[in-house]
């Protein structure tokens, strides 16, 4: 498999382990349109890659992923007004379904903050490790929008509906140890042990019974895929509606002006 066409994902192979790195470190790996499109394709390409048995998903630099690129969103809003959606809705569905459909295990190596869509990417992985000095959260509401690109689906499955709603409605960030204790992620480990912990699990899975491991993922994901696909169209639609709201416009304007948004009366 030739991964040369990918520009904002760095792809590295070590034996049967393929590491996919979100590679916009200057923007804390925030997701712009091009990176979003690449994420919509990569897991389908990996499905055809017979050399890969296990995938590791991580971020370049100091962050895992800062979510949608607010700077790019502000530019989009200025040029398109309230019309349209910054990130393609069909691609958003491909990202989620690509991860769920891929039979090969995906390990999240959360090396830094994971925010919004970045958190969604981490949580749709099959096993997750997070550095114990970082945080994870989904503050879509801080931008005046719904966490419709997957957050509203995966959070309740991991930590229950009421707890998920609390975090999705407040946008509060969660320290790594707390996230692991509530089951949002699998393991919080000291930063200097993160690489070794992920490598050990990846090589354990590579050395295991490949068919049994991958089809255990497939069998377990049957129900999750049903839930995801029953909700994705509606949740993305709600996000698009709020992308056109006065609250979102205020949030983006506040970001551009380097001030706190004022949602009073909106």
- Domain covering 9-192+210-257: architecture: Alpha-Beta Complex (3.90)
**Domain residue ranges in the chain:** 9-192+210-257
Return the bridge partners of 19, or none: 12, 56
CA 255 – CA 85 distance, rounded (Å): 18
Which residue shows structure tokens 């959070």? 155
Q: Going residue by residue through the chain (266 aa), what tens digit of pLDDT does each one get?
A: 899 999 999 999 999 999 999 999 999 999 999 999 999 999 999 999 999 999 999 999 999 999 988 887 777 666 666 555 556 889 999 999 999 999 999 999 999 999 999 999 999 999 999 999 999 999 999 999 999 999 999 999 999 999 999 999 999 999 999 999 999 999 999 999 999 999 999 999 999 999 999 999 999 999 999 999 999 999 999 999 998 889 988 988 888 888 999 998 87
CA 216 – CA 54 distance, rounded (Å): 14
Please give the model's pTM, rounded to 2 decimal places.
Answer: 0.95
Strand stretches in the chain, DSSP E: 9-14, 17-22, 54-59, 106-110, 114-115, 127-131, 135-137, 174-175, 187-189
């Amino acid at each position: 498999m030739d991964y040369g066409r990918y520009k904002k994902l760095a792809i590295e192979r070590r034996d049967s382990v393929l590491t996919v790195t979100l590679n916009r470190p200057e923007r804390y790996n925030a997701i712009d349109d091009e990176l979003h499109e690449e994420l919509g394709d990569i897991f389908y390409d990996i499905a055809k890659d017979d050399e890969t048995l296990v995938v590791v998903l991580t971020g370049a630099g100091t962050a895992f992923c800062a979510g949608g690129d607010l700077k790019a969103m502000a530019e989009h809003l200025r040029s398109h007004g309230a019309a349209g959606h910054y990130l393609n809705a069909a691609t958003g569905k491909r990202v989620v379904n690509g991860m769920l459909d891929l039979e090969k295990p995906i390990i999240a190596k959360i090396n830094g903050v994971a925010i919004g869509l970045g958190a969604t990417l981490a949580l749709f992985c099959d096993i997750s490790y997070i550095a114990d000095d970082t945080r994870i959260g989904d503050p879509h509401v801080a931008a005046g929008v719904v966490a419709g690109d997957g957050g509203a689906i995966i959070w309740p499955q991991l930590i229950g509906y009421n707890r998920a709603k609390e975090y999705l409605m407040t946008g509060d960030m969660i320290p790594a140890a707390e996230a692991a204790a509530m089951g949002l992620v699998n393991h919080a480990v000291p930063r200097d042990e993160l690489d070794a912990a992920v490598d050990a699990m990846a090589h354990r899975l590579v050395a295991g019974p490949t068919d049994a491991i991958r089809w255990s993922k497939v069998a377990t994901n049957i129900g999750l895929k049903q839930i995801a696909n029953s909700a994705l169209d509606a949740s993305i639609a709600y996000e698009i509606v709020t992308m056109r709201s006065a609250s979102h416009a205020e949030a983006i304007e506040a970001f551009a002006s380097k001030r706190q948004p004022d949602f009073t009366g909106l």
